Amino acid sequence: MTSPIVPMPARGDCSAPQFDPRKPCKLRRYFTDLNFHFGRSHTTDDQERKHHTCYYVDFETAELWELLAEFGDHTKSFANFVQVIYKLYPDRKRNADG
């Protein structure tokens, strides 16, 4: 028996993943939450995952992430895209309290 498919939450929903670019130490949590929802919604397509990654962040962050070559390049995996996002926040390990 397979688990039921739960749709991705709407932007702003209390269960939606959240990332504040002023608190880059929370980036890992953001991707952990996204992966949880990807599993529940059975979202496996890399381009769809990239879209959802940008959907939940503020406008400026989404604009930045969507400019990355890995966002629009269908030959680049979701993992490639995430790796490049982490490089945008080199201070993410400092100030773990956020």
Give the model confidence (pLDDT) of 58-84 as tens digits: 999 999 999 999 999 999 999 999 999
> Which pTM does this prediction carry?
0.89
* CA 8/CA 94 separation, integer angstroms: 31
* Cα–Cα distance for residue pair 9/84, rounded to 1 Å: 25
Report, as ranges of residue numbers, the positions in the chain whose pLDDT lies below 50: 94-98
What is the model's pLDDT at position 5?
A: 93
CA atoms within 13 A on the CB side of 43: 20
Token representation of residue 19: 């990332």
What is the 8-class DSSP label of residue 19? -
Query: From CA 5, how far away is CA 60, in angstroms rounded?
Result: 31
Which pLDDT belongs to residue 8? 97
Which has the closest alpha carbon to 21: 55, 70, 60? 60
